[in-house]
């Protein structure tokens, strides 16, 4: 049910010819209200796609009536003309749906960077999408935003008389800073824009922001949260944040499950840190280390490479007080070899790395993948 699980939302997904495969490629989401509050977080990349620049402006008003999303082209690095394409898309959606201005229409795009969108296709796709809008359209919408994803990502979290739904896409360029590729979360809870913003930023901080598949930050990352208020229930801030975090966590794990060319899912937990920022910095330095990622692809519990990665950070630690466990085996204690590395069983898909900095009590977890032949293959052939 995806984004249409909560009351007050309609969605659709259509094939507009943006993908050469002929698959669904334009998604539309309508918030029927009564409320139209919204919050958004966007990529920290300083090279931002036109739809990101547009939607950032829209979200300043904390009111979104519709979201139009397309795959088959990122509309990034397309200059002023590309921005006008986005503006025109929002105007077209607002005119076709009625009852809203273009300033209440968020736009998201994903696909190849640096090429203009085929606007005739896109706008006629919007027309079809408007006609096909329905209360059960969330699954089609989730299909339409896929690029190299092998499967759609959706989630539903039930509150007490209210619901959170969501969809996301993303399989590469997955090192979001404030957000991941594209993600739309809906709720029929009644909540103001500030409450939504608080819930979304808290949720992203410990979910999408902790996902680092390949260290590459997209130009198009967007996470939107829309509330219709159709349930008539107003949850507390804590309840709202908890439900949104659960939805984001579920979608982030689905992104990890479908990351390009991975054979392993790696959970990196840093404990004993002086502060949370130290813990995140250390975990991310391991997640981004190609030699660590190749070793795990090869089922090699090469903890020396983990220590070499930790050593590149500015976190508080002494190198002779570092402990490392791989899948529960403490292969390194006090910065030197401890339990026999041959005890580590890396044959499964899930790998757990725990690094104890022995410098405090804070912790953080980052999720990543291994670096495989398939990743290289997929990413050396993407635009050709």
Q: How far is the CB of 304 from its own copies (least distance, A)?
A: 3
Given 180, 219, 245, 368, the catalytic residue: 180
Residues forming contacts to its own copies in the complex (CB under 8 A) are: 44-48, 74, 76-82, 112-116, 172-173, 177, 214-219, 288-291, 294-295, 297-300, 302-305, 307-313, 317, 319-320, 322, 332, 334-337, 371-373, 375-377, 379-384
Asked whether residue 265 is marked as a ligand-binding residue, the answer is no
Asked whether residue 201 is marked as a ligand-binding residue, the answer is no
Q: How far is the CB of 39 from its own copies (least distance, A)?
A: 23
**Pick 241 or 313: Cβ nearer its own copies:** 313
Q: How far is the CB of 81 from its own copies (least distance, A)?
A: 8
187 is annotated as an active-site residue: no
Asked whether residue 260 is marked as a ligand-binding residue, the answer is yes
**Pick 22 or 80: Cβ nearer its own copies:** 80
**Pick 113 or 225: Cβ nearer its own copies:** 113
337-358 exposure pattern, b = at least 16 Cβ within 10 A, e = fewer: ebeebeebebeeeebebbbbbb
**Pick 211 or 309: Cβ nearer its own copies:** 309
Closest CA to 87 of 126, 62, 53, 44: 53
The phi, psi pair for 68, rounded to 5°, reads: -115, 135
98-125 exposure pattern, b = at least 16 Cβ within 10 A, e = fewer: eebebbbbbbbbbbebebebeeebbbeb
Q: Can you tell me whether residue 134 is helix, strand or coil?
A: strand
Asked whether residue 169 is marked as a ligand-binding residue, the answer is yes
| Euclidean distance between CA atoms 26 and 108, whole angstroms | 10
Closest CA to 267 of 160, 367, 356, 148: 367
Asked whether residue 384 is marked as a ligand-binding residue, the answer is yes
Which residues are documented as binding site? 147, 169, 180, 260, 379, 384
Which residues are documented as binding site for substrate? 147, 169, 180, 260, 379, 384
Catalytic residue numbers read 180
């Amino acid at each position: 049910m995806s984004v249409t699980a909560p009351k007050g939302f309609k969605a659709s997904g259509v094939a507009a010819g943006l993908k050469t495969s002929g698959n669904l490629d334009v998604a539309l989401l309508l918030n029927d209200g009564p409320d139209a509050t919204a919050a958004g977080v966007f990529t920290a990349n300083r090279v931002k796609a036109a739809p990101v620049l547009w939607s950032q402006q829209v979200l300043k008003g904390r009111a979104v009536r519709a979201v139009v999303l397309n795959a088959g082209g990122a509309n990034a690095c397309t200059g002023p003309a590309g921005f006008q394409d986005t503006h025109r898309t929002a105007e077209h959606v607002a005119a076709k749906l009625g009852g809203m201005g273009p300033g209440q229409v968020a736009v998201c795009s994903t696909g190849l960077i640096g090429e203009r969108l085929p606007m005739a296709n896109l706008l006629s796709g919007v027309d079809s999408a408007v006609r096909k809008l329905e209360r059960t359209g969330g699954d089609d919408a989730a299909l339409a935003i896929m690029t190299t994803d092998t499967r759609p990502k959706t989630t539903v979290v039930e509150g007490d008389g209210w619901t959170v739904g969501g969809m996301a896409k993303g399989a590469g360029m997955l090192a979001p800073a404030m957000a991941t590729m594209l993600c739309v979360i809906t709720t029929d809870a009644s909540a103001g824009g500030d409450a939504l913003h608080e819930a979304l930023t808290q949720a992203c901080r410990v979910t999408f922001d902790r996902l680092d598949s390949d260290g590459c930050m997209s130009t198009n990352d967007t996470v939107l949260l829309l509330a219709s208020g159709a349930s008539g229930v107003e949850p507390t801030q804590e309840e709202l944040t908890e439900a949104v975090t659960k939805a984001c966590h579920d979608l982030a794990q689905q992104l990890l499950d479908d990351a390009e060319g991975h054979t392993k899912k790696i959970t990196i937990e840093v404990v004993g840190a002086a502060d949370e920022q130290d813990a995140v910095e250390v975990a991310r330095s391991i997640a981004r280390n190609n030699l660590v990622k190749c070793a795990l692809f090869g089922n090699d519990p090469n903890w020396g490479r983990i220590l070499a990665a930790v050593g590149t950070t500015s976190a508080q630690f002494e190198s002779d007080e570092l402990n490392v466990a791989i899948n529960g085996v403490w292969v390194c204690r006090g910065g030197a070899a401890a339990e026999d590395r041959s005890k580590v069983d890396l044959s499964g898909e899930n790998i757990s790395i725990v690094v104890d900095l022995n410098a405090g009590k804070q912790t953080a977890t980052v999720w990543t993948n291994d670096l495989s032949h398939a990743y290289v293959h997929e990413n050396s052939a993407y635009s050709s």
